[in-house]
Structure formats: C-alpha cells, structure tokens
Structure 1
Amino acid sequence: MRRRSNDTCTPEGQDSGIAPRPRCSDFVLHRSPKAYLSYKSGSPEETLRTIQDVLRPYFFPDIVVSLQPNEFGSTWFCRVSLVHGSVGQNGKGMTIPLALASGFAEFMERLQALYLWRNYSPALPHLEMTPDVIPENERTQWNTFNAALAREMHDRIVPQPSLDGMYEFHDLMNGTVVYLARSLVYTPFLTTGTAAGNTREEALVQALCELFERYAARTVLRNRMVVPSIPWNFLSPSVREMLHQIQEAGFEVYVKDFSLGIGLPVVCVVVGTPEAGYHARPGSAPGINRAVERCILEYYQGIPSTAAKISAVREATDRIKHIMSTLSSHLDVLFSLDEFLTVNFLNAYDFPPDELEFLTKDAPGVAPWDYEREDFYEEIDLLLGLCRKNEIRLYARDLGWMGFPTVQLLSPDLKGHEYDSIERLSLHSQTLMQFQKLLLRGISCVKSPEFSELLHTPEVMYHCLVHNPPLVDRLRGLPQDGSFWVMNSWYFLGLVAYYHQDIDLAKCFFECYRAFNPQDEYSLCLIQAIALLPSEPWNERGLLKEEVAASLRERLHGVSQSTVEEVLMDLQDPKAVLDILDQVVVPCDTCDTCAIASECSYGRVLSVMKKIGDSFPGIFTWESQP
C-alpha cells in the first residue's frame, strides 16, 4: 500500500543549491543536465535507440515512419504510425534525427497514456489502467475532494466521481499523495499535460509547458486579447533567420507575447496577409527562442507550404461554418459557432484566417521571461515557483510503465475549461455511446427507429462534425485502410435519413456533404435532387411519386439524363437505399467470426493491446463490455 512521504528531492550526494522540494515516495526528481545542444538530456540517436529497445519485443515491425521537410528545408515533419494511419503520432524537428526522436517520443507518450487508439470507439474492447487502491480510512476524504473538484470545474459529465476508479497523483506544490477520479483524469484533451522525454525531468518540463501553452492560447483567443509583440532583437540569429525566410516569401510575421502578464513562458507566431488571412501557432518552452522555434515547427506540421497551410485552414473553417449553419437548429442548444471554433483551435489550431487580424495589433508592455537553465531540474524549480506565485495547482503521475519516461500533469486551474467543454459533453455521453454501438452492429441496427432518433441529437451531430476526414469508418470508431472503406459520413447519414423518410434531415445531411465539393456527376445530381424534394414525396406504397420524379427530371440541370434516371431509380424506394451498404457497415460482433477480420485494422490493434496486457499484468483492466 502506498503511503505519503514528505522527503525532499535533492539529488543524492549533491547540494542542489535550490530549496528542498517535497515529493512523494515514488515521484523523485533528480538532476537532469542537458547533454545535447543545451536542449535535451540525450542526443536524438540515443533517444531512438532507447525507444527502439523498448518497443522491439512487442510490435516494432508494425511501425511505419514518414518524413517531410517544409518549403524552406529548415524544419522536418515526422509521422510514426502503428498498424493504421490513425494510430500514431506526429513529431517535428530542425533536423531529420530530431524529428524522428520527437515523433517516437510522442508515440511513446500516447502509447503509455493508452491514448494511441483513441480513434477507436470506447464501445469496443480496450485496455484501461487498473485503478489504485485507496486506504480505507481515506475513502470518504477523497470522495469529497473529487466531488468538490468536479463542481469547481463545472464538470458536465460526472458530478459525483466513483471511488472505484481513482488514480494516485502527486501534488507538486506540497509533495502529498492525491487520488483523482478516472472521470477527471481522462478528458478529451488527455495529451495536454502528458509528455515523454529522455528523463522524467525533461518530460515534466514539456508537460508543464503544454499546459501553459493551451491555457494562454485559449485565454487570448476567447477574449480576443490584443497582446504585445516581442521584438526580434530578443531572438537568436538562427530563429530570426527562420522568421525572415517566411517573411521573404511574402508574408507578414508577428511574434506575440502570450505570457498574459504573469510570466507564462508562451509565445505565438502569427503568419499571413490581410488578403489571405492569418494563421496562428502558439508555443511554450522555458526559453523564448525554443518557444518561437516550437511555433514554427508546429506551423509546418503536416503541410510544408506557408500559403497552403493558410489556404487549408481557411477551407476547413469555411466548411465548418457552412455545416454549422446548416445544422444550427439542432446544434444551437449545445454550443455556439464561436465556442466550437475556440475548442477546435485548442485541438488543431485551425481558426478562421480572416478572424485573427486582432493578433496583428499591438499592446504595450512586453515582459521578457527566461526560465531556461542547463539542467531540467532547475527549470522545474523555476516553473513550479511561477505556479506557486500564481496559485496554480499541479498534480502529477508517472506513466512510464513501459520503460520510457512519461508523465501526466493535471491542473484544475489550467485545464478546468476542458470539463465544461462541448467536446467532453459529447464524447462522454451515453447518447454517442449508443449511436456507435448500433453502427458497430451493422445496417440492421442502422435501420432501427432508435438510430433514427439518435440522428437528431446534438451530441451525435457534434461527433459527425469533428471528424476529419468525415468517413463512415471514423464515425463508427473503427477506422480502416483502403478505398473500399472510403465513404463520406454526411453522404451516408443522408441516405440513412432518407431511408427513415426524414426529408428535412436528409436535406441537412446532403447539404453538409455539399461542403466537401464532391466532383462526380452522380453525387452532384443526388444532392440537387434531395434539395428539390417536397416534404411528402412518397405515395401510399412508400415509393417516390411519379409527379415528383417528373418534376425532378425537368429541374435537374448540369448533369446527363442517364445520371438523372440513375438517381431517380435509387430514390424510388427509400427502404432500398441502404441495401448496398452492407459491405461498408460490416457488423462488428466478435473478431473470431468477423468476415473481414484479416483486413480489419482494429483486429491488429486488438492483438497489440492483448500482448501489452499480458506483458504487464496488474497494470491494466480489460474493458471487454463497456
């Protein structure tokens, strides 16, 4: 049984020169010198060797890596995937080795936090970490503590946390043990505050910086704050050179102070033009140059071109606005467009480029900060001092069960907004769980009246809205490979609504599908036809009225007559429109009897989870029937 301890964290045999830091018995902090370019505890080659050794016994041959430079060749983007493209993580660096080390370290973070397979439905069997045992005489205390914490953060999901699922954390402010409910620990933004590194100390600094970054970004964006610009002469020549490269390509470049006037080590690089709009990437690090460097690395993650990045964000946000407008009568009860865009910004930093011009304006009073030291241990001391000064609570736990240092930090003061968020409300709802269960059972359940009712709920519509790409396999929580599985989820839902003879909803869903600019003639004709249908287009036998079909023949333009006839044939009987989808929505009951088991990505991920569970007994609980 774990007990509390108030031992200090001074490295053994050393005089730290720092005031002793209380710690818990199994969360000891040590000296962690930066041995590589005053940047990391180890070289990228050392990091990669360590992770390779950790992973090889389990599934190293199944890992795929891709690399991509930005348009200037100054940064590299890396994607590390396991089994399926959606089961993986991104990395970035100034060199190929640094990008690879970043990608694999992020991969280890997601893996050890059990967040790597988050795109699979929680309705499928999966691993959970076994809760810690709470001393019997403390159970009432921690139940009260967690209930109060949930109320403080306006948690929409679990106002009364269960004592049967709590994990041991360590209060970094006073060194005591804290037990936190699983419902509070696992949020949609689990990875904010979760980090891996060559040492626990390196990981802890990164986790702290992630918390600062997201908190500052949300605060500035939500309040449309005009903040100071950071003079470029504060920056190193190499960082200025990267900024000049972007500037010389024809873009305005701003480095903004996101410290909020309280010394948070956060900056934001804003790039764009008044005509094209702007894109913003915040970043945090103990030193200002590393923070700006991080912004630039994040900016080119996934898309190597500056112009293409802004264009892609504009296209994505315009599409979201169109869909939100189309579904407003269903979604307005849950959230506003601005609330959605703010939450989405925290996920992907995609915000309408024409709405970020306020970040190009200046406020006085830039306040330089510097927490960068030659040892991560000393940086932790300074950053904890910052938190103490601003009354920021921090609870930490070790997630390095596989052998690579990983930590999770939870702060009610920096992460509180996540618990009162639309994403948490939707993703943890029983409504969405039941929706995915029915989808996983196949077309027969999709045809049920219950499924039709679920389609009208804002939780389900939000789930459809956030998926990118919007594919049926993602909607089911069962992402797959290959063109066989590629079907736009809005197209699918439009057919489902038509099957249930819900014309208004079918029109909404097909209008959402239009936002993705389908180019094939059949889709264009189908979208037009659905939009032109009257509210009662069927006769007493449930078939499309002949006069309705005749009207559509006259009004459908820009497509061939043969395509018009094909569409009318398919719309003739609503009860037949889903017959061709049995192979797209294959029933997912058990892997043993599944017709597509050999090609199903989840089956391969499931075998990885089972191997991990068997290799680390006692750490995990198998959730076979969520």
Structure 2
Amino acid sequence: MTQTFIPGKDAALEDSIARFQQKLSDLGFQIEEASWLNPVPNVWSVHIRDKECALCFTNGKGATKKAALASALGEYFERLSTNYFFADFWLGETIANGPFVHYPNEKWFPLSENDDVPEGLLDDRLRAFYDPENELTGSMLIDLQSGNEDRGICGLPFTRQSDNQTVYIPMNIIGNLYVSNGMSAGNTRNEARVQGLSEVFERYVKNRIIAESISLPEIPADVLARYPAVVEAIETLEAEGFPIFAYDGSLGGQYPVICVVLFNPANGTCFASFGAHPDFGVALERTVTELLQGRGLKDLMCLLRQPSMMKKLLNIPTSKRTLSIPAV
C-alpha cells in the first residue's frame, strides 16, 4: 500500500486514517463522509459525522483528499477525548452525582459559606490573572454540565510546564473562556502537543493584533514561491476575482503565525484567516486551507456580501502591503 507522509505528521496518512476509522468503529461510531469540497487546486475539506447522531460532527482540511480526511478523523478524536460534543449541555442528575462528570481524575472543591474561591483551585499567578479585582466567587465557577452546587466546583488537573506541578483549573473557566482552543489530537504525544500549542499561539496573536492595532508586513513573493502548491491555490482564487494577501503574523519572529486575507473588490469586504505551526510551510498551507474549509467559491461571494467586521478593521491601502487592524 502506498504511504504518504506530510510535514508535521508522525505517521503516514493512510495509517492514520485506517487506525482512526478502526478505533471509532470499535467504539460503536458509524462515521460517514457527508460532504467534500475541492474549490481550488490543493485545497480539500470534508465534513464527517456519526450516522446515528449528526450533531457529532467534525470538519477536516488539507492539501490533499487524504490529508483532509485524516484531519477530520483526528479532530473527531480530539472532540471525543475532551467531551467537546457535549460542552453546551446539562448532562442530567445521574451524571451530575456519578463517580465523575468530566474525567475520572477530576477533583471537587466544596463551596464555602462566604463563597470564596476554595484553596487548591488555581495557583497564585492564575488567580491574579483571572480575578485581578478580587470579584470572583466560588458559586460563579459551577460547571454547566453538572450544575451541582451541592457537590461544588469541578477542577481538572493541568500540569504546569515550568515545574511539572499539578494545578486544578475549574471546568467552568475552561468551558467559558477557551471553548475548543488548545484541544488537540495526533499520531504521537509530541504531534498533539505541537498542534495544541500552535492553536494557542494563533488565537493569542490574532487577539493581540486586533487589540493593539498592529500592522503586519506582507510575506515576500519569493518566500511564497517556495511553496508552489499553495501559490497555485492562491493564483486560482485570484483568477476568480479574489485578491489574496499573505502577512507575517510572527510579531517580529516571536510566534509561528501567518495571516492570509481574501478581498472582494466588488464591495470592499474581506475575510481573514490565521494559522500557526513551527514549520512555515505547514502554517502557510493551514492558513490557506482554513480560509476555504467548508466553503466553495460561491459561498465566498455570499459570505463577503455580509457586513464584515474586517472591512472596518483594514485602514491602510493594500498598495502599502501591510495589514493594519485597529482596536475594536
């Protein structure tokens, strides 16, 4: 059997797909590939879902069909292992009072009479970060899935990377502030960690660019030319009437982040995509494929006809080759 290896992945795509599909089948899931899109060369996306529950779905993207399918299956495991499919639901009294609600190694912290945040939750640095005005109370941290005030606050164990100490973070904070940010799955532990950290960098840099009105330099054409598959996708989009600009989001070489902006000259709107990875080529490909994930060219026209926040955010002419995003 042919084996296809791509940068950033620690196993052949064929092996990843076969292993993920088999494991999902063993767990009782009946995964179907509901829809495929290949709007431009070297950009694929797929929507997969469980036949018995269409709400359990994920999307995948990649430069090839196999890469997109492996991406979608990996994301399915990511959402399963982090309970993300059920993040917006109360799970009922049976689970709320069961041995555990989220994970077997969770820890519960009873509420106190004065409603202070219990000792043992968060460390000093995180308490200062989440509660700089000392306004946080314990009852604010009850998780949605259990809603069990009698049981208290559910804390999940995280490993502090500076010293490998365990820090318990309320599930309420994770669900409210981070949603899916930082969740990851991979063929190996390190692959998953790189994916998770890359996503954290991506979101952090995007928010900082907006908040601080940072202007981004355009990535030189000779650098883009090193990645002909991505250039072909960009040129096809431009031939369809959508100018594309790729910007360096590293903030002076600090973060492995790229920003790609698609413009609609007909009405002045645009759509921005951010991507991150330590390998520049992977970050670039990820950003362009993310731009079109789940969208055909007609979908782009519909999307860009809508009022766009980004239309207000761009305040420097494109001739200056920089992207400027003022605070909103």
TM-score if structure 1 supplies the norm length? Answer: 0.42
Structure-1 separation of matches of 2:47 and 2:164: 37
AA partner of residue 277 (structure 2): A
Question: What whole-Å deviation, never above 9, does each CA across 1:510-533 have from its counterpart, x for those lacking one?
Answer: xxxxxxxxxxxxxxxxxxxxxxxx
What residue number does 2:206 align with? Answer: 217
Question: What whole-Å deviation, never above 9, does each CA across 1:560-619 have from its counterpart, x for those lacking one?
Answer: xxxxxxxxxxxxxxxxxxxxxxxxxxxxxxxxxxxxxxxxxxxxxxxxxxxxxxxxxxxx
Structure-1 separation of matches of 2:135 and 2:255: 26
**Residue 259 of structure 2: SS of its match in structure 1?**
strand
What residue number does 2:54 align with? Answer: 85
Structure-1 separation of matches of 2:134 and 2:47: 36
Structure-1 separation of matches of 2:136 and 2:119: 22
What residue number does 1:175 align with? Answer: 164
- 8 Å CA contact 1:166–1:181 kept in 2: the answer is yes
1:219, CA displacement in angstroms?
1.9
Unaligned 5+ segments in structure 2 are 96-100, 110-117, 143-151, 324-328
Structure-1 separation of matches of 2:210 and 2:302: 20
| Structure with the higher strand share, 1 or 2 | 2
**Matches for 1:6-45 after TM superposition, within 5 Å:** 36-45=5-14
Tell me how large the CA RMSD over aligned residues is.
3.1
What residue number does 1:392 align with? Answer: none
What residue number does 1:282 align with? Answer: 274
AA partner of residue 24 (structure 2): L
What residue number does 1:74 align with? Answer: 42
Structure with the greater alpha carbon radius of gyration: 1
Structure-2 separation of matches of 1:183 and 1:154: 17
Q: Structure 1 residues 179 and 254, CA, compared in 2 at 3 Å: closer, same or farther?
A: same
TM-score if structure 2 supplies the norm length? Answer: 0.77
Aligned mate of 2:284, from 288, 292, 317: 292
- 8 Å CA contact 2:242–2:265 kept in 1: the answer is no
Structure-2 separation of matches of 1:143 and 1:76: 41
Q: Structure 1 residues 65 and 155, CA, compared in 2 at 3 Å: closer, same or farther?
A: farther
Q: Structure 1 residues 175 and 272, CA, compared in 2 at 3 Å: closer, same or farther?
A: same
Structure-2 separation of matches of 1:155 and 1:201: 38
AA partner of residue 290 (structure 1): V
What residue number does 1:304 align with? Answer: 296
What residue number does 1:114 align with? Answer: 83
| Structure with the higher helix share, 1 or 2 | 1
Q: Structure 1 residues 189 and 249, CA, compared in 2 at 3 Å: closer, same or farther?
A: same
Moved runs in structure 1, 4+ residues, more than 6 A? 153-157
What residue number does 1:59 align with? Answer: 28
Structure-2 separation of matches of 1:284 and 1:133: 33
**Residue 254 of structure 2: SS of its match in structure 1?**
coil
1:169, CA displacement in angstroms?
1.1
**Matches for 1:435-584 after TM superposition, within 5 Å:** none
- 8 Å CA contact 2:47–2:72 kept in 1: the answer is yes
**Matches for 1:186-335 after TM superposition, within 5 Å:** 186-187=175-176, 189-235=178-224, 236=226, 237-261=228-252, 263-276=254-267, 277-305=269-297, 308-315=299-306, 318=307
What residue number does 2:309 align with? Answer: 352
Structure-2 separation of matches of 1:181 and 1:192: 16
Q: Structure 1 residues 358 and 156, CA, compared in 2 at 3 Å: closer, same or farther?
A: farther
**Residue 207 of structure 2: SS of its match in structure 1?**
helix
Q: Structure 1 residues 202 and 141, CA, compared in 2 at 3 Å: closer, same or farther?
A: same
- 8 Å CA contact 1:68–1:304 kept in 2: the answer is no
Q: Structure 1 residues 48 and 155, CA, compared in 2 at 3 Å: closer, same or farther?
A: farther
Q: Structure 1 residues 253 and 64, CA, compared in 2 at 3 Å: closer, same or farther?
A: same
Structure-2 separation of matches of 1:220 and 1:185: 23
Q: Structure 1 residues 247 and 153, CA, compared in 2 at 3 Å: closer, same or farther?
A: farther
What residue number does 2:15 align with? Answer: 46
